[in-house]
Chains A and B, each alone.
Chain A
Amino acid sequence: MTLKLGVPSKGRLMEKTFDWFAKRGVTLSRTGSDREYAGAIEGVSNMELVLLSAGEVPRELAAGRIHLGVTGTDLVQEKLPRFEQQVEELAEMGFGHADLILAVPQFWIDVDTLDDLDAAASAFRAAHGHRLRIATKYHRLVREFLTDAGVADYQLVDSQGATEGTVKNETAEMVADITSTGETLRANHLKLLGDGLVLKSQATLWRSRVAKYGRDEKAALNTLLDLLEHRK
Chain B
Amino acid sequence: MTLRSDIQARAAQLRVRFEAAGGQVVDTPLLQPAGTLLDLYGEDIRARAYVTSDALRGEQMLRPDFTVPVVEAHMRHGAEPARYTYSGEVFRRQELDPDRPNEYLQVGYEVFERDDAAAADAEVFSLFALQVRGLPLRAATGDIGILMAAVEGLNTTDKRKTALMRHIWRPRRFRSLLDRFAGRCPVPESRRKLLSTEGDLTGSAVEIGKRRAAEVQARVEALRADAKEPPIAENELLALEALMAVRETVPFATEQMRDIAVDLPQINPALDRLDARTAAMKARGVDVDNLDFEASYGRTSMEYYDGFVFGFYAEARPDLPPVASGGRYDALTRQLGDGEEIPAVGGVLRPDLMLQLEEARK
Contact = CB atoms under 8 A, between A and B. Distances in A.
Nearest to A124: B211
Interface string A11-40: 000000000000000000000000000000
B2 to A, nearest CB: 26
B44 interface: yes
Contact of A124 (B207, B215, B220): B215
A146 B43 contact: yes
B208 A123 contact: no
Contact of A119 (B208, B211, B219): B219
Interface residues of B, number: 38
Interface residues of A, number: 44
Overall SS of chain A's interface: mixed
A150 B205 CA distance: 29
Interface stretch (A87-95, A105-113, A196-204): A105-113
Given A81-B95, A105-B211, A106-B205, A154 B188 contact: no
A156 interface: yes
A138 to B, nearest CB: 13
Interface in A74-129: 81-82, 105-110, 112-113, 115-116, 118-120, 122-124, 127-128
A189 B47 contact: no
A143 interface: yes
B211 A173 contact: yes
B43 A156 contact: yes
Interface of A: 81-82, 105-110, 112-113, 115-116, 118-120, 122-124, 127-128, 131-132, 139-140, 143-144, 146-147, 149-156, 167-168, 170, 172-174, 189, 194
Given A108-B216, A112-B188, A170-B210, 10 more contacts: A109-B194, A110-B219, A127-B215, A143-B46, A147-B47, A150-B167, A150-B174, A154-B43, A168-B209, A170-B209
Contacts of B210: 128, 170, 173
B98 to A, nearest CB: 9
Nearest to B220: A110
The interface centre, meaning the residue of A82, A150, A156, A174 with most chain B CB atoms within 10 A of its CB, is A150
Contacts of A119: 163, 219
Contacts of B39: 131
Contacts of B194: 109-110
Contacts of A146: 43
13 contacts: A107-B205, A107-B216, A110-B194, A113-B190, A119-B219, A140-B47, A147-B44, A152-B166, A152-B167, A154-B43, A173-B209, A173-B210, A173-B211
